[in-house]
């Protein structure tokens, strides 16, 4: 079933590129820059992205099963192949650890549960035989609703299964007391991102969405005329819910998500729902306060719920249930889901291979169980050791950057350095793995199905989450599995996390040229550190609490500098008349700029300790550093994917990340002798100097 919308506390880099490998023509292979991918007919001072990636851009076609392509996609493809090899070997051998529960009974190990889950996804014969049957009991529950009070009861009863879509309760760090868990009431989830309901520029996509709904309703029994009428009602209903929601730009201000209310105050805000009854019904006892994430939505929802017809409410509940289940039912319904959300919305031409799609679902469901298998086979201890050394140097580089800031007072600098020194770094895999012992995953021999196992995972996550309420925060938990090619910063824990999969060739090679590594993974490290000090992360102190540590004057200067960066990106027309959204991507753009600066300083620290290398292929270490940065963001995107990314993603498209930060980096000007009449040139007073 559909998972309730969560309060987002982490910021991930969502990489779009990796450092490539080349052949040293005189010796052995050395990780570095692929000269054949460059277009040296274009000056790096005019079009840096083209200079670094031009030949690659000309010769590369986006695979039909992808909506964008770049080094990151290639690395993910390689990593998936590695994990699938490990997974298939485990299926063949079935040599799993022996595990017993508290009563001494033998149970499936975590690794065996991962295998069982995967096999039920891959068993398309069983899925097609069952068809829509697995979800029908849930639709029957909606059909039984006779009153609006029944709706409330239904929403309460369905909370462990993902809720009904209107609202949901979850447990996360208390933003102002991050060492304790607190309860949050979050607004509803919709079939599309909010902007698709309110932005006239993408009205055509809303029309396509309505057609998709009608098509699916016919699959579930409506005749054509009724399906079209119901689809129109659903879109109108979802639009009425979308309009009062926070804008995506507003939601980036974490302070606006922190609205602690007593249950009585919530009742006054949104009187249409018996909130005490809901809270009691989901088993929450002695709740002093609930943190409401979107006051405007709850106030509007209460009125919509009061005035709306029971038939329309039931119709939306029905659609939420169908839409949530499509991917885990028969293959024709899964394909229909792909045709809209991937083909129509992002321009995909072909579905990814089934085993890769199954692996993606498995990673999302029980990623750490699979991660145990991955780490055992794929991660060398040397990589972790050298990555730690690089992180230390980049941290020192960031410290140096803070100390040298001309716009910041010493008082705020001291607080910033205090926060930096408290930053926790997690590398490769957890010291303490998740405990899946209470999760039931039925294998094929036990009659398990994809839909049923997905429901069990949802319930397990819900119960695990609810059990945290009122307890001390477990800071050993990870938000990504080891086989995930990504990284993130978590402000409430003041931590940066680098899963094992990103610490591997060709993105990162512990045997490689350091300039290339610092320009690649080093800048990624710097990016995540910088998130601790971006426009959102900077609102948290070193202990992860939402607490202002800025002087008023410095806070004003920081906002003014940020506005200059907003304008740089918002001035770019990416496709047709669609501009980049500099306000929405500000945090990631600060991360990129700060990350490059800190990694560059880290490289200089390394070179000072270990000596400067000779030029390679005629390029200095500094030039190779910037080439590496430009390489990791090499990207080709389909038009629809680009539009969707601009509408929904806090990250700018990769082709802009490759060069936009560098226009503000003085060291880049020095490395390539950028002159005033060059296209990459910005006047010194126009360069953003933020971290």
CATH number of 137's domain: 1.10.1380.10
Location of structure tokens 């002798």: 673
Specify the pLDDT at position 506: 61
Classify residue 652: in a domain, yes or no: yes
Per-residue pLDDT at 539: 97
Cα–Cα distance between 78 and 88 in angstroms, integer? 15
Mean pLDDT by 10 residues, the chain (691 residues): 38 38 40 88 98 97 96 91 94 82 79 94 96 97 98 97 93 97 95 96 96 98 98 98 97 96 98 97 91 98 98 98 97 98 96 97 94 85 79 96 96 97 94 93 93 97 96 96 95 96 78 89 95 97 97 97 98 96 97 97 96 93 96 95 96 97 98 98 97 94
Token pair of 658, please?
Answer: 């490759």
Position 596 in a domain: yes
Residues 196 and 334 in one domain: yes
Judge if 42 and 150 occupy the same domain: no
Domain containing residue 664: CATH number: 3.40.390.10
Tell me what pLDDT residue 30 has.
53
> Please, what's the b/e burial string for 560-595 (b: 16 or more CB within 10 A of its CB; e: otherwise)?
ebbeebbebbbeeebeeeeebbbbbbbbbbbbbbbb
Q: Are residues 287 and 212 in the same domain?
A: yes
By CB neighbour count within 10 A (0-12 exposed, 13-18 middle, 19+ buried), where does 117 fall? buried
CA distance 8 to 293: 10
For the chain, the domain total comes to: 2
Supply the range of the domain harboring residue 326.
Answer: 130-346
Chain centre to alpha carbon of residue 322: 24
Range 306-315 contact pairs with CB under 8 angstroms and sequence separation of 24 or more: 306/272, 308/237, 310/145, 310/147, 310/148, 310/151, 312/233, 312/237, 313/148, 313/151, 314/142, 314/143, 314/145, 314/151, 315/230, 315/233, 315/234, 315/237
Tokens linked to 591: 């991360």
Quick check: is 89 in a domain?
Answer: no
Within a domain: 448: no
Residue 422 lies in a domain: yes
203 alpha-carbon distance from chain centroid: 26
Residue where a domain stops, chosen among 346, 363, 390: 346
One domain, residues 622 and 671:
yes
Task: Provide the 3-class DSSP secondary structure of residue 683.
Answer: coil
Tell me, yes or no, whether 565 lies in a domain. no
239 & 278 share domain: yes
* Backbone phi, psi, residue 99, to 5°: -130, 140
Distance CA 128, CA 138 (A): 19
| Same domain, residue pair 149 and 298 | yes
Same domain for 629 and 551?
yes
Strands (E), 340-439: 424-428
Residue 506 near residue 19, CB atoms below 8 Å? yes
What is the token pair recorded at 537? Answer: 């992360």
Same domain? 332 vs 421: no
**Of 327, 346, 365, which marks where a domain is finished?**
346
**Smallest Cα–Cα separation from 691: which of 393, 396, 400?**
400
Residue 552 sits in the same domain as residue 673? yes
CA dist., res. 328 & res. 95, Å (int): 28
Same domain, 383 and 334: no
Q: Is 565 left (phi over 0), alpha (psi -120 to 50) or beta?
A: alpha
Is residue 456, in this structure, part of any structural domain at all? no
- Which long-range CB contacts under 8 A does 251-254 form with residues at least 24 apart? 251/294, 252/535, 252/536, 252/584, 252/586, 252/587, 252/650, 253/536, 254/175, 254/491, 254/536, 254/539, 254/546
End residue of a domain, out of 301, 325, 346: 346
Same domain for 311 and 386, yes or no, is no
H/E stretch holding 48: helix 48-59
DSSP character at residue 308? S
Q: What is the DSSP letter of 202?
A: G
Provide the total of helices (H) and of strands (E) in the chain, helices listed first: 28, 16
The pLDDT, as a whole number, for residue 21 is 34
Residue 159 lies in a domain: yes
Tokens of 684: 């010194």
Q: Cα separations (Å) of 411 from 414, 491, 598, 690?
A: 5, 21, 21, 17
Structure tokens at 86: 């490990």
Q: List the one residue out of 153, 380, 111 whose CA is nearest residue 277.
A: 153
Residues 533 and 680 in one domain: yes
Rounded to 5°, the CA angle 353-378-53 comes to 65
What sections of 326-380 are H helices per DSSP?
331-338, 345-346, 354-378
Closest listed residue to residue 563, CA positions, set 589, 528, 537: 589
């Amino acid at each position: 079933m559909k998972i309730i919308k969560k309060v987002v506390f982490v910021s991930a880099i969502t990489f779009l590129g990796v450092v490539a490998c080349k052949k040293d023509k005189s010796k052995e292979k050395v990780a570095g820059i692929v000269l054949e991918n460059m277009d040296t007919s274009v000056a790096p001072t005019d079009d840096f992205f083209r200079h670094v990636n031009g030949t690659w851009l000309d010769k590369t076609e986006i695979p039909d099963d992808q909506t964008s392509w770049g080094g990151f996609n290639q690395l993910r493809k390689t990593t998936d192949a590695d994990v699938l090899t490990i997974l298939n070997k485990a299926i063949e051998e079935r040599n799993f650890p022996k595990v017993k529960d508290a009563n001494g009974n033998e149970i499936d190990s975590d690794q065996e549960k991962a295998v069982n889950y995967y096999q039920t996804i891959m068993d398309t014969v069983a899925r097609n035989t069952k068809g829509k049957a697995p979800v029908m009991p849930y639709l029957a529950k909606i059909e039984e609703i006779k009153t609006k009070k029944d709706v409330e009861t239904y929403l309460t009863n369905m909370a462990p299964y993902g809720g009904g879509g209107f609202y949901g309760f979850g447990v996360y760090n208390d933003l102002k007391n991050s060492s304790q868990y607190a309860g949050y009431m979050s607004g509803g989830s919709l079939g599309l991102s909010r902007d698709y309901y309110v932005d006239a520029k993408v009205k055509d996509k809303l029309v396509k969405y309505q057609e998709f709904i009608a098509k699916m309703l016919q699959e579930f029994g409506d005749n054509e005329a009724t399906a079209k009428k119901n689809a129109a009602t659903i879109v109108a209903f979802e639009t009425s819910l979308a309009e009062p929601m926070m804008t995506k730009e507003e939601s980036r201000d974490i302070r606006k998500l922190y609205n602690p209310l007593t249950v009585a105050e919530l009742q006054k805000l949104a009187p249409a729902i018996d909130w005490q009854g809901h809270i009691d019904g989901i088993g929450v006892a002695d709740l002093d306060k609930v943190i409401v994430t979107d006051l405007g939505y709850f106030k509007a929802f209460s009125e919509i719920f009061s005035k709306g017809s029971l038939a329309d409410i039931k119709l939306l509940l029905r659609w939420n249930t169908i839409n949530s289940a499509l991917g885990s039912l028969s293959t024709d319904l899964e394909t229909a889901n792909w045709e809209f959300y991937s083909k129509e919305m992002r321009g995909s031409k072909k579905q990814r291979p089934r085993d890769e799609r199954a692996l993606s679902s498995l990673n999302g469901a029980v990623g750490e169980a699979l991660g145990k298998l991955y780490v055992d086979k794929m991660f060398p201890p040397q990589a972790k050791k050298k990555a730690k050394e690089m992180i230390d140097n980049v941290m020192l580089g960031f410290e140096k950057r803070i100390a040298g800031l001309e716009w910041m007072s010493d008082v705020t600098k001291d607080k910033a350095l205090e926060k930096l020194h408290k930053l926790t770094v997690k590398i490769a895999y957890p010291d303490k793995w998740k405990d899946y012992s209470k999760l039931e995953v039925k294998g094929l021999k036990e009659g398990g199905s994809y839909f049923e196992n997905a429901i069990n995972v949802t319930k397990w996550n819900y119960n695990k989450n609810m059990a945290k309420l009122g307890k001390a925060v477990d800071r050993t938990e990870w938000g990504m599995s080891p086989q995930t090619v990504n990284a993130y910063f978590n402000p409430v824990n003041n931590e940066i996390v680098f899963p094992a999969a990103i610490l591997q060739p060709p993105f990162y090679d512990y045997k490689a040229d350091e300039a290339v590594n610092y320009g690649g993974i080093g800048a990624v490290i710097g990016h995540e550190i910088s998130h601790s000090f971006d426009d959102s992360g900077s609102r948290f102190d070193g202990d992860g609490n939402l607490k202002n540590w800025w002087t008023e004057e410095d806070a004003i200067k920081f906002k003014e500098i940020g506005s200059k960066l907003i304008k740089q990106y918002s001035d770019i027309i990416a496709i047709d008349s669609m501009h980049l959204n500099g306000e929405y991507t500000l945090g990631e753009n600060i991360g990129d700029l700060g990350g490059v600066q800190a990694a560059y300083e880290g490289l200089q620290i390394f070179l000072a300790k270990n000596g400067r290398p000779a030029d390679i292929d005629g390029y200095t270490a500094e030039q190779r550093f910037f080439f590496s940065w430009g390489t990791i963001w090499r990207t080709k995107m389909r038009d629809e994917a680009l539009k969707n990314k601009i509408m929904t993603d806090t990250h700018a498209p990769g082709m802009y990340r490759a060069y936009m930060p560098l226009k503000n980096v003085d060291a880049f000007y020095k490395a390539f002798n950028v002159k005033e009449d060059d296209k990459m040139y910005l006047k010194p007073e126009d360069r953003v100097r933020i971290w």
